[in-house]
């Protein structure tokens, strides 16, 4: 029975051109990572569930792809749980593995597990797919690649400074100008929550604040009130809503708001340190912007928080994110190892580069010379020439099927044409007898009979 093939929701096939373009992004990022001193590691596509569960908040747990146990998985399920039909509780007994949700948590696991082999501070990068059981939409897939660079084992703020530079370097190398690197600090958010008497509602508070540019001041206040944040606290936020201007003037306003919060003041100090360094070092094409409403990845970040948005005019969610996590390895039993890292969203960067027409033309080139196949004798003769061409570093191939009854020449020429192969070589009986090759330039249509040496030098 024939059935129409399909792939799961939120996944994609990539054709040769798309793969070439993706590889271009991969290799650009990889080169930048390595110039900054990062080394690659890889981790499995799936982890033990307990490694991942509970690290990304309640929402995150829901979006983790769980892998069903093999064998008779129902036999282990507690009868009571089964009768209750409680999906959450049953999940842990029928699924012990899950697809990785990001690269940061598996990395933390890796660090703890290999702590004795690692030389700290450890700078690693990782470019692998991650999976989320999300509903697809623009720039959002269920399988996508992240490119992460992290440093663990150092509390130095110079790392944050370097990561800002790394973002700038990568986007510059990709020709993507005008990205905004937004920065905030978890300590500032905690400080504000403390000042307004909502320390226990930090997450509700930041989630609401994060929506400021989307739903506006009034709606944000409504949401905060609805979450049980006291009115007099919200009133204290007033200077926050009117926070405008450059980095320095925003810092001044924050100093006023956070004058009574020790943690908040620490956050301000850190931001200032990073900003001062960046101002002094300069950025190529990106802009560093303080955004107090930035509240992403709250689950394990403790210091700086980064998010990168595409150049103005491109409608796309963030194309990168990251931050400082003081104790991510602590949950796996290794205390006092601070980490900081950033991530690039490959698939979204692809969409942005495509939309702005920033992919270089040269990256899709494949075969340079195609030999027409006139028959077995000619093919063997051609393959000798092809061998020399390949040794000279020229991508060459022989058309596999031979011309029969003098037909199919057209088909072979057409093949070269469709694949944008710039040169075609014809070797028939006449050429073989004279050890010559008819070289045709597909662009100009011109052709000439040449020796092997001339052939190689003409196409090189």
Partner RNA sequence: GUGGUUGUAGCUCAGCUGGUUAGAGCGUCGGUUUGUGGUACCGAAAGUCGCCGGUUCGAACCCGGUCUUCCACCCCA
Q: How far apart are the first and last CA of the chain?
A: 50
Sign of dihedral through CA atoms 337, 181, 353, 313?
positive
Which of 15, 80, 137, 242 is close enough to bind RNA by CB under 7 A?
137
Which of 30, 89, 140, 227 is close enough to bind RNA by CB under 7 A?
140
Nearest distance from C-beta of residue 4 to RNA, angstroms = 4
Nearest distance from C-beta of residue 327 to RNA, angstroms = 18
Site for RNA in 145-164 (CB under 7 A): 146
- How far is the C-alpha of 290 from the C-alpha of 305, rounded, in Å? 10
Nearest distance from C-beta of residue 211 to RNA, angstroms = 6
* Burial state string for 23-34 with b = 16 or more CB within 10 A and e = fewer than 16: ebbbebbbebbe
Nearest distance from C-beta of residue 333 to RNA, angstroms = 24
Which of 277, 298, 383, 454 is close enough to bind RNA by CB under 7 A?
298
298: DSSP letter: T
* Tally of CA atoms within 13 A in the half-sphere of 112 that contains its CB: 18
In the bound state with RNA, the residue whose beta carbon lies nearer, of 268 and 424, is 424
Site for RNA in 341-370 (CB under 7 A): 343, 345, 347-348
Nearest distance from C-beta of residue 169 to RNA, angstroms = 18
- How far is the C-alpha of 283 from the C-alpha of 9, rounded, in Å? 39
In the bound state with RNA, the residue whose beta carbon lies nearer, of 74 and 215, is 215
Give the gyration radius of the chain's Cα atoms. Answer: 29
What six digits make up the tokens of 160? 């944050």
Which of 39, 276, 417, 434 is close enough to bind RNA by CB under 7 A?
417
- How far is the C-alpha of 255 from the C-alpha of 261, rounded, in Å? 10
Nearest distance from C-beta of residue 459 to RNA, angstroms = 15
DSSP 3-state helix, strand, coil percentages of the chain (rounded to 5)?
45, 15, 35
- How far is the C-alpha of 275 from the C-alpha of 254, rounded, in Å? 15
- How far is the C-alpha of 3 from the C-alpha of 316, rounded, in Å? 36
Contact call for residue 405 and RNA (CB under 7 A):
yes
Contact call for residue 139 and RNA (CB under 7 A):
yes
Nearest distance from C-beta of residue 376 to RNA, angstroms = 15
Which of 72, 80, 407, 453 is close enough to bind RNA by CB under 7 A?
407
Contact call for residue 132 and RNA (CB under 7 A):
yes
Query: Where do runs of H (alpha helix) occur along 298-425?
Result: 346-355, 376-391, 409-418
Which of 38, 65, 125, 141 is close enough to bind RNA by CB under 7 A?
141
Who's near 13: CB < 8 A, 6+ residues apart? 7
Nearest distance from C-beta of residue 12 to RNA, angstroms = 8
The pattern of x and - marking residues 214 through 243 that bind RNA according to CB under 7 A reads xx----------------------------
Site for RNA in 36-95 (CB under 7 A): 57, 59-60, 63
Which of 426, 455, 456, 459 is close enough to bind RNA by CB under 7 A?
426
Nearest distance from C-beta of residue 388 to RNA, angstroms = 19
Beta bridge partners of 439: 425, 448
The pattern of x and - marking residues 300 through 329 that bind RNA according to CB under 7 A reads -------x-------x-xxxxx--------
Nearest distance from C-beta of residue 318 to RNA, angstroms = 3
Count the site residues for RNA by CB under 7 A: 67
Q: Residue 383 in contact with residue 398, Cβ under 8 Å?
A: yes
Phi, then psi, of 250 in degrees rounded to 5? -65, -40
- How far is the C-alpha of 3 from the C-alpha of 290, rounded, in Å? 54
- How far is the C-alpha of 3 from the C-alpha of 449, rounded, in Å? 51
- How far is the C-alpha of 82 from the C-alpha of 179, rounded, in Å? 51
Give the interface with RNA as residue ranges (CB under 7 A): 3-4, 6, 8-11, 57, 59-60, 63, 102, 132, 134-142, 144, 146, 207, 211, 214-215, 296-299, 307, 315, 317-321, 343, 345, 347-348, 403, 405-407, 409-411, 413-414, 416-418, 424, 426, 428-431, 438, 440, 442-443, 445, 447
């Amino acid at each position: 029975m024939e059935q129409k093939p399909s792939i799961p929701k939120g996944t994609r096939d990539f054709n040769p051109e798309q793969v070439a373009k993706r590889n271009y992004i991969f290799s650009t990022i990889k080169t930048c990572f390595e110039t900054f001193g990062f080394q690659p590691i890889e981790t499995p596509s799936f982890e033990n569930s307990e490694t991942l569960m509970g690290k990304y908040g309640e929402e995150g747990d829901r979006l983790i792809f769980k892998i069903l146990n093999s064998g008779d998985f129902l036999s282990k399920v507690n009868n009571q749980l089964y009768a209750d039909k409680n999906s959450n509780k049953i999940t842990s007994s029928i699924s012990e593995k899950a697809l990785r949700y990001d690269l940061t948590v598996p990395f933390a696991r890796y660090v703890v597990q290999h702590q004795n082999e690692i030389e700290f501070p450890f700078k690693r990068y990782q470019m692998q797919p991650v999976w989320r059981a999300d509903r697809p939409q623009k720039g959002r897939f269920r399988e996508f690649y992240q490119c992460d660079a992290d440093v663990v084992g150092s509390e130095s703020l110079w790392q944050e400074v370097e990561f800002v530079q790394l973002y700038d370097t990568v986007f510059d190398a990709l020709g993507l100008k005008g990205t905004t690197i937004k920065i905030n600090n978890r300590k500032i958010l905690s400080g504000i929550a403390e000042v307004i008497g909502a320390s226990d509602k930090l997450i509700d508070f930041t989630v609401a604040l994060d929506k400021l540019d989307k739903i506006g001041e009034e709606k944000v206040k409504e949401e905060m009130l609805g979450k049980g944040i006291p009115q007099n606290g919200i009133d204290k936020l007033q200077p926050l809503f009117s926070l405008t201007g450059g980095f320095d003037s925003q810092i001044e306003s924050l100093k006023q708001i956070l004058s009574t919060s020790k943690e908040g003041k620490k956050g301000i100090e850190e931001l200032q340190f990073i900003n001062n360094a960046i101002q002094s070092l300069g950025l190529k094409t990106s802009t560093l912007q303080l955004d107090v409403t930035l509240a992403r990845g709250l689950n394990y970040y403790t210091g700086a928080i980064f998010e990168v948005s595409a150049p103005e005019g491109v409608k796309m969610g963030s194309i990168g994110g990251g931050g400082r996590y003081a104790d991510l390895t602590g949950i796996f039993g290794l205390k006092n190892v601070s980490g900081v890292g950033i991530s690039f969203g490959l698939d979204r960067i692809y969409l942005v580069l495509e939309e702005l027409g920033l992919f270089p033309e040269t990256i899709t080139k494949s075969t340079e010379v195609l030999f027409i196949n006139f028959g077995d004798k000619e093919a063997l003769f051609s393959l000798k020439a092809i061998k020399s061409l390949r040794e000279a570093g020229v991508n060459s191939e022989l058309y596999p099927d031979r011309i029969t009854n003098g037909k199919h020449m057209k088909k072979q020429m057409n093949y070269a044409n469709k694949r944008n192969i710039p040169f075609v070589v014809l070797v028939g009986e006449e050429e073989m007898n004279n050890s010559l090759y008819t070289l045709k330039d597909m662009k100009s249509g011109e052709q000439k009979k040449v020796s092997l040496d001339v052939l190689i030098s003409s196409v090189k």
